[in-house]
Structure 1
Amino acid sequence: MKFRLLLSLVLLALLAGCATRPGVADAVLHGDAAHPAQAQGWVDTRLYFGLGLADQPQQGISEQAWREFLDREVSTRFPDGLSVVDVYGQWQGKQQASPERLRSKMLVIDYPDTPANRAKVEAIRAAWKQRTGDQSVLRVTQPADVSF
């Protein structure tokens, strides 16, 4: 009986050592301003970019042109990370009788909610509209609870 109790205690001690082994418990990326363990005052912004008519994929903005825009206008402003999702969208502009079906990209950026970062987002939207002649880049921003 004493042997079983002693063996159980030894096994528990060994298992506890595994749980606290360096590299296991602290494998979460955090510790700097770009990757906080827990952050308040951050927002999640989604931007929707129309690339061209869905039924005319050979026209409009190519994947290469999109990546060049992403590299030049977005990644330079938000180098710490972002996501891009291919989406299908519809848009009915002013004076149009029916909506257009569009190949689209949704850009997702999470960042501290500061005037400087909001200005960066607006600069991205303006650059796209200038480049393409589009009337709009839809922006959806909401509070975000983030951790890394």
Structure 2
Amino acid sequence: MRSRTLPRALLAVFLATPLATTACHGAGQDAAHPSPGRAGAACGRGDPMTRTELFFGLDRLELPPVTQAEWQQFVDTAITPRFKDGLTQFDVDGQYLATTGKLIREDSRLIMLLHDGGQVASDAIDAIRKEYKVRFNQESVLRIDEPVCVGF
């Protein structure tokens, strides 16, 4: 069991820093390269949607890490029923520097969802995060939302 002195929320921030900085790309864009804005804004190509990325750490205090079987059951019972049109999942490696100066590494999972950006989808995402935290004794699940233009 690894000792943790830094909250899981900070782990999520370290995991997502490169992605989060790209999420703010619209601030300096000119009229020739407009940001899609919130889902529903005009897109030069594709359709406006919202991309949500959720970062789930697999380590647990006082228990073994979340197993692949437990993770898949969570995806099958908590995520898929709420986002039946599909999702993408990635195995990712997270790390953060604890206040002790020790580098902590943690296996994590990233779920990427595309949706309309509405309140129903947002509430479903928050329910997924809450369920994971309760089921697996987690402090946090990082959520990043970004407006995107999507073509299939």
* Corresponding residue for residue 132 of structure 1: 136
* Higher-Rg member (1/2): 1
- Indicate yes or no: 2:74 matched with 1:66: no
* Corresponding residue for residue 6 of structure 2: none
Sequence identity percentage? 30
* Corresponding residue for residue 3 of structure 1: none
Name the aligned partner's letter for residue 128 of structure 1: Y
* Corresponding residue for residue 119 of structure 2: 115
Cα offset for 1:101?
A: 1.1
* Corresponding residue for residue 144 of structure 1: 148
Cα offset for 1:138?
A: 0.7
5+ residue gaps, structure 2, are 1-44
Cα offset for 1:92?
A: 6.4
**Alignment partners' CA distance in 2, 1:39 and 1:125:** 26
How well do the aligned residues superpose, as a CA RMSD in angstroms? 2.2
Deviations along 1:110-143, one digit per CA (max 9) or x if unpaired, are 1111000000000000000001111110111100
Cα offset for 1:146?
A: 0.8
Q: How does 1:15-54 map to 2 (within 5 A)?
A: 38-40=46-48, 42-52=49-59
Deviations along 1:88-110, one digit per CA (max 9) or x if unpaired, are 012568xx634531110000001
Deviations along 1:44-96, one digit per CA (max 9) or x if unpaired, are 0110001128xxxx931000000000000000000101000000012568xx6
* Corresponding residue for residue 108 of structure 2: 104
**Alignment partners' CA distance in 1, 2:53 and 2:96:** 16
Name the aligned partner's letter for residue 77 of structure 2: R
Which runs of at least 4 in structure 1 moved beyond 3 Å after TM superposition? 96-99
What's the TM-score, normalizing by structure 1? Answer: 0.65
* Corresponding residue for residue 89 of structure 1: 94
**Alignment partners' CA distance in 2, 1:76 and 1:137:** 19
Name the aligned partner's letter for residue 95 of structure 2: Q
Aligned residues: 105
- Indicate yes or no: 2:84 matched with 1:76: no
